[in-house]
Amino acid sequence: MLRSVILAASRSSQVERLIATAPFTRDVVGRFVAGSGTDDALRATRELVGDGLAVTLDNLGEDTVTPEQADATRDEYVKLLRLLAAAGLTPAAEVSVKLSALGQRFDEHLAYDNARAICVAAEAAGTTVTLDMEDHTTTDSTLDILSKLRNDHPSTGAVLQAYLRRTESDCRELAGAGSRVRLCKGAYKEPESVAYQSAHEVDRSYVRCLNILMSGDGYPMLATHDPRLITIGEDRARWFDRGPDRFEFQMLYGVRPEEQARLVGEGYTMRTYLPYGEDWYGYLMRRLAERPANLAFFGRALLSKK
């Protein structure tokens, strides 16, 4: 119920205005976001890589409505990749890209062209691109664009969401050699017709999908903070004899940092998803919806500023 309310608010421009201008908001944003500029992203990446983590950077923003906005997002990624390479931070750092930020909602061809330009820049920088997955209305389009991109850039990664009923079948499609797939639970509000609604069903689906990916020939990226699923991931890595170059764990910046350090200490590849930029509202609201404790953190920041 609370999750639905927060996810509904994440689409409300009135609530966005209220939260974005509140004085306490910056502290909360700072926990989950590296900062607003490219410099902040580079600084945080350097720190994380120094701690033995791999990184995937996300230039915040989604649902652009004009070609100019979409092109600006593309240009920011191209610049970021050039700077990451110059700083010697690739290949430890790659980028995560939302196609809706590249124009997918109004022109799929434009989104494809922009994504391709980012893949070219990533290749020149010696690293990879992963296409984030957004709500279910975009899944087919995103997987189509992925498949086209992979013709010239086979390392381009996909994200599959365990809460969608279709995902087991998508995992089978994408478990082949060379295929990089991030498996997450899914962060959007989806109808029962397409998505499991209970946490238990989503977790069970996650394990089925994890089994398909870990027993396949691709490169699974297990994106979760869930202790039980991480234990199952570690178990399957042993079972399928997958070392740190054959799969990885992924978590969000600011979430369970001690667990991220533990996995690095155990010798796993652990990648932190690092968002940066001004357009943090939708991202922050999805994080709040995921976990009541994050909401309490928001509340404490509010009280401490009174």
Ligand X SMILES: Cc1cc2nc3c(=O)[nH]c(=O)nc-3n(C[C@H](O)[C@H](O)[C@H](O)COP(=O)(O)OP(=O)(O)OC[C@H]3O[C@@H](n4cnc5c(N)ncnc54)[C@H](O)[C@@H]3O)c2cc1C
For the question of residue 3 being annotated catalytic, the response is no
Residue with tokens 């992979």: 150
Candidates 74-82, 85-93, 173-181, 251-259 — which segment interacts with ligand X by CB under 6 A? 251-259
3-state secondary structure of 92: coil
Question: Residue 269: phi, psi to the nearest 5?
Answer: -80, 125
Q: Which residues in the 114-133 window bind ligand X by CB under 6 A?
A: 132-133
- Separation of alpha carbons 182 and 276, rounded Å: 20
Sign of CA dihedral 209, 230, 153, 42: positive
Q: Which one from 105, 116, 132, 286 is the annotated catalytic residue? A: 132
**Binding of residue 185 to ligand X (CB under 6 A):** yes
Question: Residue 273: phi, psi to the nearest 5?
Answer: -85, 115
Residue from 55, 181, 187, 274 binding ligand X (CB under 6 A): 187
Reference 125, options 156, 94, 98; nearest CA is 94
Determine contact, residues 134/186, Cβ cutoff 8 Å. no
Distance in Å, CB of 203 to ligand X, minimum: 8
**Binding of residue 224 to ligand X (CB under 6 A):** yes
**Binding of residue 255 to ligand X (CB under 6 A):** yes
Q: Which one from 74, 182, 236, 271 is the annotated catalytic residue? A: 182
3-state secondary structure of 272: strand
Reference 194, options 140, 270, 231; nearest CA is 140
For the question of residue 172 being annotated catalytic, the response is no
Nearer Cβ to ligand X (82/262): 262
**Binding of residue 161 to ligand X (CB under 6 A):** yes
Residue with tokens 């369970």: 256
127-207-163-198 Cα dihedral, nearest 10 degrees = -150
Q: Which residues in the 272-291 window bind ligand X by CB under 6 A?
A: 273, 290-291
**Binding of residue 252 to ligand X (CB under 6 A):** yes
**Six-digit token string for 28:** 């909360």
**Binding of residue 95 to ligand X (CB under 6 A):** no
Nearer Cβ to ligand X (204/291): 291
Residue from 223, 263, 284, 301 binding ligand X (CB under 6 A): 223
- Separation of alpha carbons 101 and 62, rounded Å: 4
Distance in Å, CB of 251 to ligand X, minimum: 5
Residue from 158, 184, 288, 301 binding ligand X (CB under 6 A): 184
Candidates 11-19, 75-83, 164-172, 247-255 — which segment interacts with ligand X by CB under 6 A? 247-255
Alpha-helical runs (H) found in the chain: 2-9, 13-20, 25-32, 38-50, 67-86, 108-125, 139-152, 167-173, 199-215, 227-239, 257-265, 281-290, 292-304
Nearer Cβ to ligand X (18/57): 57
- Separation of alpha carbons 153 and 172, rounded Å: 20
Candidates 39-47, 68-76, 140-148, 186-194 — which segment interacts with ligand X by CB under 6 A? 186-194
Distance in Å, CB of 86 to ligand X, minimum: 25
**Binding of residue 186 to ligand X (CB under 6 A):** yes
Nearer Cβ to ligand X (94/290): 290
Residue with tokens 């999750």: 3
**Binding of residue 226 to ligand X (CB under 6 A):** yes
| Residues catalogued as catalytic | 132, 182
Residues near ligand X, by CB under 6 A? 132-133, 159, 161, 182, 184-188, 223-227, 250-252, 255-256, 273, 290-291, 294
